[in-house]
Amino acid sequence: MNDNDELSTPVRAIIADDHPLVLLAIENLMVSYPNMQIVGRAADATELFKEVDRIPCDLVLMDLYMPGGFYGDGLEAVRQFKVRYPDVALVVLTMETEAAALKKVIALGVDGLISKRDRIDLIQVAIVTALARECYLGPAVRSLISDATIAQRLDFVRKMLSRRELEVFTQYASGLGVTEIAARLGRSVKTISAQKCTAMRKLALHSDAELFRFAVEHGVISEDCLKNRR
């Protein structure tokens, strides 16, 4: 087979979703993609596995939660699929919003994870990326994981610092000077300076530059706030 033959060979795809209208919508979308052939459909994991066993395929696009079926739904279905069909590119669609659950799906080795809240045209981007054996994460998935990570980091800061230290740390990171913070909070400059230094020591920060970067990375202040300082 020459390169032109390989380029003209259609990608054989199987789609799985327990909602008939969603299944139809995805199929109508995917048949419009170049070199794409829908060779099977399924409404739960059991049907999906039967379809993959019945006809060879290159790609599976499946909903994360499909009630019923011998293999259950969610993580267990994905886990078993990756074990049984390691050579098939797997893109997962989901309405899941819990970052911890999304991270577990990614850890199972899926080739794509995209939220049903994302733009529908991103399904094609996910498919192309998955077929190249690179993991694609949709914008909503990335945002949910990022927000959760920042929330965890901010919780760490809150546990490390006292209420007053966090108050001073936040205001200083926001661009206020020690003297201005002292005037606002009705404390002495010496006290504010000491609380700032204590906070930095607890967080292992050695310079104002480290402090500002840490504050953004841990959700204490927004990146826009840091940009406005410049």
pTM confidence score: 0.71
CA distance 56 to 12: 8
Q: Which residues are paired to 12 by β-bridges?
A: 37
- Entry field: residues in the chain: 230
Q: Which residues are paired to 114 by β-bridges?
A: 93
161-229 adopts what CATH topology?
Arc Repressor Mutant, subunit A (1.10.10)
Residues of the chain with CATH 1.10.10.10: 161-229
Residues of the chain with CATH 3.40.50.2300: 3-143
3-143 adopts what CATH topology?
Rossmann fold (3.40.50)
* Nearest C-alpha neighbor of 169 from the set 204, 190, 198, 147: 198
CA distance 71 to 178: 61
Kindly write down the DSSP assignment for every residue of 36-80, as one continuous string.
Answer: EEEEEEESSHHHHHHHHHHS--SEEEEES----STT-STHHHHHH
| Tokens representing residue 139 in the block | 């914008």
CA distance 87 to 104: 20
Amino acid letter for position 183:
A
* Cβ-Cβ contacts under 8 Å for 65 (sequence gap 6 or more): 73, 74, 94, 95, 96
pLDDT in tens, the chain (230 residues): 344 444 468 999 999 999 999 999 999 999 999 899 999 999 999 999 999 999 999 999 999 998 766 666 689 999 999 999 999 999 999 999 999 899 999 999 999 999 999 998 899 999 999 999 999 999 999 999 988 888 888 999 999 999 999 999 999 999 999 999 999 999 999 999 999 999 999 998 999 999 999 999 898 998 766 555 55
